Amino acid sequence: MADEVVLLDFWPSPFGMRLRIALAEKGIEYVYKDEDVRNKSPLLLQMNPVHKKIPVLIHNGKPVCESLIALQYIDEVWNDKAPLLPPDSYLRAQARFWADFVDKKIYEFGRKIWTTKGEEQDAAKKEFLDCMGVLEGELGDKPFFGGETLGFVDVALIPFYSWFLLYEKFGNFSVEALHPKFIAWVKRCMEKESVSKSLPEQEKVYDFVMFMRKKLGME
């Protein structure tokens, strides 16, 4: 029986992008369904009744929710090509630790940069840039967090690059000026077709958020 893979997603979601990259890396054919997150489909509500969020990976009718969990699932099931987690259990623990760090820090601080003002925004900016530094330290001299090839942490982190124009405009900073090593890593990732085809243009994300802000009366 052929595998049936469906991805419930929302095009600007960095969490959805993670799964797009992984599926592309592994050469897995799937059906992409873009959700209107302000008008959720019955399918989404059925597949993720607890959180009602995207992304949801549906494999032969069975849903896997939460992007890092779905990444591990993809890695375990389609284990013949492009491994995301290394074989060594200590290195696997390190990869899980840093992917969790990305989840705890990057999304939250990035979001605060464009949704808050004044002191709160300054604090978020500082924390965000500190995280860039910490991640650069963890990367070290390796081309990717996964070593010679894209790994679990690379896939977890790179999608946020599509939101950098938004963060930089609202926060009035340049990640490249302050953390060139981080951007060098970004560029190496973007050379991979699985990544470049999975991330929307930064301008598209920026325009979308500006449009939503006006609509929600945030201007």
Residues lying near another protein in the complex (CB under 8 A) are found at 49-51, 59, 62, 64-66, 69-70, 72-73, 76-77, 89-90, 92-94, 96-97, 100-101, 134
Sign of CA dihedral 70, 198, 143, 148: positive
Tokens representing 86?
């290394």
CB of 209 to another protein, least distance (A): 24
Q: Quick one: 64 or 199, whose CB is closer to another protein?
A: 64
CB of 140 to another protein, least distance (A): 15
Q: Quick one: 83 or 195, whose CB is closer to another protein?
A: 83
3-state secondary structure 129-160: HHHHHHHHHHHCCCCECCECCCCHHHHHHHHH
How far is Cα 105 from Cα 107, in angstroms, rounded to an integer?
Answer: 6
Residue length of the chain: 219
Q: Quick one: 89 or 219, whose CB is closer to another protein?
A: 89
CB of 51 to another protein, least distance (A): 8
Helix or strand or coil: residue 58?
A: strand
Q: Quick one: 21 or 74, whose CB is closer to another protein?
A: 74
CB of 103 to another protein, least distance (A): 9
Helix or strand or coil: residue 202?
A: helix
